[in-house]
Structure formats: C-alpha cells, structure tokens
Structure 1
Amino acid sequence: MSSNISNNSSNISSSINTSPELPSGFAEQELSRSIGRSRINSIDMMRGLVMLIMLLDHVRERFFLHMQVSDPMDLSSTSWGLFLSRFAAHFCAPVFVFLTGVSAWLYANRSHGQPRSARAFLIKRGLFLIALEILVINISWMGNYHTLWLQVIWVIGLSMLTLAALINLPRPWMAVLGFAIVFGHNLLTPIHFQPNDWAYGLWTILHDRGYLISEGALKIKVSYPALPWMGVILLGYVAGPIFSQKPNANPLEATQRQQTLLKLGISCWVLFALLRGFNIYGETLPWQAGAHLGETLMSVLNLTKYPPSLSFLLVTLGGMFFCLVAFERYFASSGKVEGRLARVGHGLSVFGSVPMFFYILHLYVLLLLYSLAKFIFDANNGEYFGVNSMGWIWFIAGVLAIALYYPVKRFSEYKKHSTQAWIKYL
C-alpha cells in the first residue's frame, strides 16, 4: 500500500508543516502571521496538489488492486495509464516530508520575536503521527488489525523525532548530514539481514522494507523504510530560510526566492539526467531501451520508492521546486481571487490547508465505498471488487475530489477560527 497555507495554510502548516499535515499537521495562525500570504499560498497549493494525486493513487489501491504494481513497476504488465498514475503518486511523500522540514524551520524562526526551539513541537507532533498511524490510519485500509502497516504517516512522525534530536546542530552540519543520507543511502542496498540476525529489526525500520513481526495474531510490516526520509526532512529544514520573510521585506525577495527554487529544480533534474541517463548511480534497476520512445521513457522513470532511491528523490523534489515557483508566480492571489488560474490555486490551497483532515476523511470514505460496492456487487476480480480500466479510476477520483471539497473547506474555515489546541493537529 502507498501512501506517500493564507491563513488556512497556517492551519496546515501547523499540521503538515512539522509533519506534513498530511500526511501531518501543524504551525498555525501563529505561523501564517509570520510568513507572507502569497508564499504560504504556494506551499498550500503544493500540498493540495499532491493530496489530490494521493487521492487518485488510493482510489487505484481500492478499486484497481487486482492490477497490483511492484516496486519498481513491472513494465511488461503495466499500461501507460497505470504507470503515469503511479508515477504521479511518487511526488506525494517527498513533498510532505521536505515541507515538514521547511515548516519546522519557519516555526522556530518567526519573523516577529525571538527564535524559539522547535524540538518540543516536533516531538509532540511526531509522536502524535505515529499514534495516528497505528490507531486511526491502519484500520482505514483493511477494516481490521490482522497486519499493522507502518506507512507514510509513521515515517513522517519518525523523521520529525529525528529532526528534533538533531535540531541544535549547526545548519551547515545538518546540510552535510542530510546530503550524505540522501546521496549515500543507495550504497547500503547490498546490505541485508535475516530475521534472526541481531540488526534485522533496526535495518528493517531504516532501510529494508519488510516484516518486523511476521507470525501471530498481529503482524507488523514496515512499508516505508525511514533512513532516506530522515535525510529529506533535514534538507527541508536547511532550506527553510528560502521561504522566510522579514517585516517590510523588499519585493525583490520573491524574485530571489523563485530564482533559488528554479536553480534547485534545474540542478536536481540535470543531475538525474546524468546519473540515470548513463546508469551511473542512484537507482537499483538500470533502464533499458524499449521498442519505442514511450517504453524507453517508462524504463527511465521506473524508479524505486521503498526505500526512495536518489533518482526517485531528484525527480520528485526537482518537480516540487518547479511547482512552487509556478504556484507563486501564476496561481497565488494577493487579494480577491480573480482569474481562472487564481481560482484553481485557491481550490488547491483549500485541500492543502487541512491535509491531515483530508487524509483521514478520504481513507474512510474509500473504505465505506469499497465495502458497499463489494456487498452489493460481490467480488468480481478474484477476492477483490474492482473496475476494469484506469479511466474509471480517474473518474471516481474526480467525483470524490468534488464531493470532498465542501467538507474540507468547512473544516478549514472552522480550524482557522478555532481556539481548541487539538484542532491544530488536524
């Protein structure tokens, strides 16, 4: 299974921020007051976009599970529609985790007042997310507890706890450690431990996807190895100053920020083209030329997610940098929402303002819909109920996005004005 801000964004930043409200949640009105409106909107739009992509992927997992995909994907049995839908979902977890690091830095470095430690903030949210994964998220997948799947919310929480432990490191050292993890963890791929080895449990959590407990009434499986994501959240924290804004800031700051993000995006994609193009490093499965250009492109972009390879992170984080620039330049509105792009941006920011609420809501809606469909129509694809084409998956996801927009918007407005502390976690 995969996974994978305005004033509303403050709400999300409180939740997904230090733990992608998400996938997570957090810094809030306080954060939104300290950051510029259009920039916060661009972050919310980015989160909103990947939330909708995630919705598509989870609809696929509900109603197209009879056409399961491996990691990396088996291109001999994967259609273009299925490949593109799954590839798009690759962007979700990197965006959530990186922006969690950014939000933690913004929380600690307010534009008004003295800097503050984000350690307690990260610890509380990290533990909350891990508990949420175990007690709320897991049952939404299967409707029972025969297996506890430790997935994206778990890994965000664990990454937040790691950042909390390292929060007092000088930023240059944090950058070195983050880059070392992200660029070097592929070297660890040949290392494996057997279930009876002393390091098996720790290595399963950090690097090798597998079962912590494979027998008994409750099995526990780590679906998201944590080590690469720890590197990503560290780099997000290091990148936090790119998004900072001082009172009465020079208007050129926005242009400088966009230029920095563009350079980061270009650097990621150029490095990917070199490393992946020549099969030098960064991916466990070399690409191969296909019968035609489409097959070759699929092979090049067929990247490992569990754990995320360097190539996987270069493509997805590079795309995120480009999107942040586009959202700030063309989709953000400084006042009344006007124009088609601004309306699209506003809609995305609604979903991005309360990502944790949307995450939980859509999972239980999908569980209910799947249970009803299987009860009414029975299993029609082996043990599963499912539709017969990706076109139906896109259609169902589109209908659900429209149907869930209103409750998400209402909750976003409620959270914006609420003084209840627990609301900040959603």
Structure 2
Amino acid sequence: MTPLDKNRIRSIDLLKGLVMVLMALDHTRDYFYQSSSVLSITDPENATFPVYMTRWITHFCAPTFSFLAGMSVFLSGKRKTKTDLSIFLLKRGLWLVFLELTVIAFAWYFDIRFRNIDLAVIWCLGISMIFLAAFIHLPKGVILLLSCLLIFGHNLLDKVHFEGSALWSVLHELSHVELSDTHTLNIIYPIIPWVGVMSLGYYFGNFYRLTVEASARKRLFNTIGFLAVALFVVVRWINVYGDPSPWKHYATVGQTVMSFLNVTKYPPSLLYLLVTLSGAFLFLANSETWKGKLVDFFCVFGRVPFFYYIMHLYLIRTLAAVAAELTGYGWQLMVQTQFDIDLKDYGFSLGVVYAVWVGIILVLYPFCRQFDAYKQSHREKWWLSYL
C-alpha cells in the first residue's frame, strides 16, 4: 500500500491532480463553447446530454479539492505545533483571499478596471483555512460533529433571506452586491457548507496515521462512499430536503435523469456534497496501490495545484482572446464586464472544446513538472508553501 511515513500520500496527490485537470475542462468550456449562456447548460429542458455531462462531471472538482485540502492540512500539521499550524492557516488563508481579489479577478475578466470581483473557489478555500485555524484546537469528535452539522443542516437556511445583506450572502446565499454604479461583488461561494467540507477533510486525515491499517482505511472509506451514494438516491427521491431545486419528471427518461442529478452548487447543497464527496471516498479507498506513468502524470498536477490553477486560467483566457481575434470577433470580446459571460455568437463545438482542453493540459504539464521538481528540492524555502 502507499507508504504513510512520508508527508505526501500518492493517492491524495493523484485525486487532486485528476480534479484539477477536470476543472480545466469546465473553464475551457466557459470560453470556447458556443452557448447563449454558460450558466444554463444543465437545464434539462434545453441541455444536450453530452454538454450536460461535460458540466456535471466537473462538479466533483471544488468539493473534492476542498476536502483534500483539509486532509493535507492534517498531514502537514503533524510536523507543527497546533499554534504554528493555526498561524500558517491564517496567513495562507488571507493570502488566498488577497489573490482572489487581484490576480485571479483579473484572470477571469481581463478587465483592468476590476468592474467585477468574484468571491469564488480560491476565496472560499482561504476563508475555510481561517476557520480551520480555530477548529484544529477542538477535540476530533467535535470537529466531525461541526462538519456534519454544516454539511447536513445548512439547507435549513435556504428560505432565510435578508434583503441587501452582503454578510448573509457571504454566509449562505449566491448574490451580486452593487458596490457602485460600475462595480459589482459577485458572492459565488457562500462559506457555511464549504467550511464544513474542509474541516471534514481535516478530520479524515486522521485515518492516514501510521497506526491505521490500510485495509481498515479502505473498508471505512468504501463504506462511507457507498452509504453516501445510497443516501443521495434516497433523499433526492423523497424530494423534500437537501436541495433548493426539486427534481421533476419529464417527457423523456434522459431529461428526468438530468433533472434528478441536477443538484445545486451555489452554495453546494447537501445532495451536491453527498454525490461528489462519495466519489472522493471511493476513489481514495481503492487507489492507494495504483502505479504507472499515467498516475505519475496526474500526480504532478496534484503536487502543484495552485501554481497550475493560476497558469491554466491565464492560458485559457489568452488562447480564447486569440481565438476571438482570429475568428473576427476581436480579442476585446474577452474583456468581460458582467458576471454571466456574454460571448455573443463566438464559440466552437464541444469536440473543439475537448481538443483545446487536452492541448492546454499537455502544454502546462512540463511547467508543472519543473515547478514540482523545484519545490521538492527546495523544501527549506518557506514561500513555496504559499504556492
């Protein structure tokens, strides 16, 4: 099985790498697929199944990465005191929030006036780390209890609204806050359920201690994974709780299945987290012995996720601007000034999107491999832990 006397666990790096590569597919589709709206492609009434699934499979990315980030905090924290770990989490969390508001905000819109600023996945990871800085001082059982309360109970707040409250939106409601006549703050990742996901990952990092047998960990993770899938099916079928958007029957089986699986991401509903985190548990349970060049390939991305994240955003956006220029729309089309991306009639078929995505991954791989090698050979450099 995977040697657990090292700080890095190969199966965790592998899963991180896989979801990072999948994430690039979603972002490539955002700026290359010809669609009237990038936010409605999972609507069963209008979506085609290939486009729907292209979007749906990327749902696994954010919750899996947040969960694994919590695991990684536990594993790296074994070499630190709780106080030192808390300080690190606070600093790294604030650093991620700063980057979300600056470097990443520009990458999404290419707008030097920053008329739109998103509180999205990097912001959410940063805030979750700040909360985790406090949670790690609690007993393990309390961390598990708090995590489950946040994940299983937050949909009780779905019908609670405070008109115009940015604070409530930050906590639990997708919202667009007008900062001025020209500037908007888009609160895409409300924090309550996401904090629970990262702290849950921190708790389950305990099961990678040397005192835990690999076979016992495999049984536990498989059990949790299959139970989560079963619970998703039962709760979704009942159609009363767990997601603000109930599913419904359509004229075709395909549309009905799409409706059943069309769970809410902003904020992530209980059902969304059940179906996605079940995949994380099942994958971790069964991938510890995997080896080979393909495993090594994805592990590279998993060891340098933030470096890869910044690189892939800027590469996708630059290529999209070039494509817009070459197809007669002008590169200025990629300077977006509104949240719901409006690319006019620009765009390509889904096949082209997949081809561009594969090309992006292959271009980024040597840069990520080189940076990974640098990180591994310069562990003494403190600033590398922030990238």
TM over 0.5: yes
1:102 maps onto 2:71 in alignment: yes
1:373 maps onto 2:323 in alignment: yes
Residue range with higher mean Cα deviation, 235-244 or 374-383: 374-383
Which of the residues 233, 257, 263 maps onto 1:273?
233
Given the superposition, is the C-alpha separation of residues 278 and 390 from structure 1 closer, same or farther in structure 2, using an over 3 Å criterion? same
1:229 maps onto 2:229 in alignment: no
1:352 maps onto 2:317 in alignment: no
Letter in 2 for 1:118: L
Letter in 1 for 2:326: I
Which of the residues 376, 381, 386 maps onto 1:420?
381
Letter in 1 for 2:276: T
Q: Secondary structure at the match of 1:314?
A: helix
Which of the residues 153, 159, 173 maps onto 1:184?
153
The Cα offsets for residues 271-313 of structure 1, whole Å up to 9 and x where unpaired, read as: 1111012213201122122333322221111000000000000
Structure 2 Cα separation of the partners of residues 361 and 385 of structure 1: 27
The Cα offsets for residues 175-208 of structure 1, whole Å up to 9 and x where unpaired, read as: 111111100111100011111xxxx121010111
Structure 2 Cα separation of the partners of residues 147 and 271 of structure 1: 38
| Deviation at residue 125 of structure 1 after TM alignment | 1.0
* 1:297 corresponds to: 257
Contact kept in structure 1, 2:34 and 2:349, CA below 8 Å? no
Contact kept in structure 1, 2:31 and 2:347, CA below 8 Å? no
* 2:131 corresponds to: 162
Given the superposition, is the C-alpha separation of residues 42 and 398 from structure 1 closer, same or farther in structure 2, using an over 3 Å criterion? same
Q: Which runs of 5+ in 1 are unaligned?
A: 1-5, 7-31, 334-341
Structure 1 Cα separation of the partners of residues 251 and 237 of structure 2: 17
Instruction: Give matches, 1:20-419, under 5 Å.
Output: 34-35=5-6, 40-64=9-33, 66-70=35-39, 73-110=42-79, 117-144=84-111, 145-195=114-164, 200-245=165-210, 253-329=213-289, 331=290, 333=291, 342-379=292-329, 383-384=343-344, 386-418=346-378, 419=380
Contact kept in structure 2, 1:105 and 1:118, CA below 8 Å? no
| Deviation at residue 421 of structure 1 after TM alignment | 2.0
Contact kept in structure 1, 2:242 and 2:269, CA below 8 Å? yes
Structure 2 Cα separation of the partners of residues 231 and 181 of structure 1: 5
Structure 2 Cα separation of the partners of residues 277 and 420 of structure 1: 51
| Deviation at residue 139 of structure 1 after TM alignment | 0.3
Structure 2 Cα separation of the partners of residues 65 and 214 of structure 1: 31
Calculate the aligned-residue CA RMSD, in Å: 2.3
Letter in 1 for 2:71: V
Given the superposition, is the C-alpha separation of residues 383 and 69 from structure 1 closer, same or farther in structure 2, using an over 3 Å criterion? closer
| Deviation at residue 99 of structure 1 after TM alignment | 1.2
The Cα offsets for residues 73-112 of structure 1, whole Å up to 9 and x where unpaired, read as: 32111111111111111111101111121122222334xx
Structure 2 Cα separation of the partners of residues 372 and 128 of structure 1: 31
Residue range with higher mean Cα deviation, 283-292 or 167-176: 283-292
| Deviation at residue 389 of structure 1 after TM alignment | 1.9
Contact kept in structure 2, 1:75 and 1:298, CA below 8 Å? yes
| Deviation at residue 231 of structure 1 after TM alignment | 1.1
Q: Which runs of 5+ in 2 are unaligned?
A: 334-341
Structure 2 Cα separation of the partners of residues 65 and 95 of structure 1: 28
* 2:337 corresponds to: none
Q: Secondary structure at the match of 1:168?
A: coil
Q: Secondary structure at the match of 2:288?
A: helix
Contact kept in structure 1, 2:4 and 2:208, CA below 8 Å? no
The Cα offsets for residues 379-406 of structure 1, whole Å up to 9 and x where unpaired, read as: 2997446433212111110111112111
Q: Secondary structure at the match of 2:177?
A: strand
* 2:339 corresponds to: none
| Deviation at residue 64 of structure 1 after TM alignment | 2.0
Contact kept in structure 1, 2:45 and 2:255, CA below 8 Å? no
Structure 1 Cα separation of the partners of residues 240 and 354 of structure 2: 36
The Cα offsets for residues 30-51 of structure 1, whole Å up to 9 and x where unpaired, read as: xx984376xx110011001001
- Report the count of equivalent residues: 373
Structure 1 Cα separation of the partners of residues 131 and 227 of structure 2: 27
Contact kept in structure 1, 2:131 and 2:195, CA below 8 Å? yes
What percent of counterpart residues are identical?
Answer: 36
Given the superposition, is the C-alpha separation of residues 81 and 244 from structure 1 closer, same or farther in structure 2, using an over 3 Å criterion? same
Task: Give the TM-score of the pair, scaled to structure 2.
Answer: 0.90
| Deviation at residue 72 of structure 1 after TM alignment | 9.0
| Deviation at residue 219 of structure 1 after TM alignment | 2.0
Structure 2 Cα separation of the partners of residues 356 and 155 of structure 1: 14
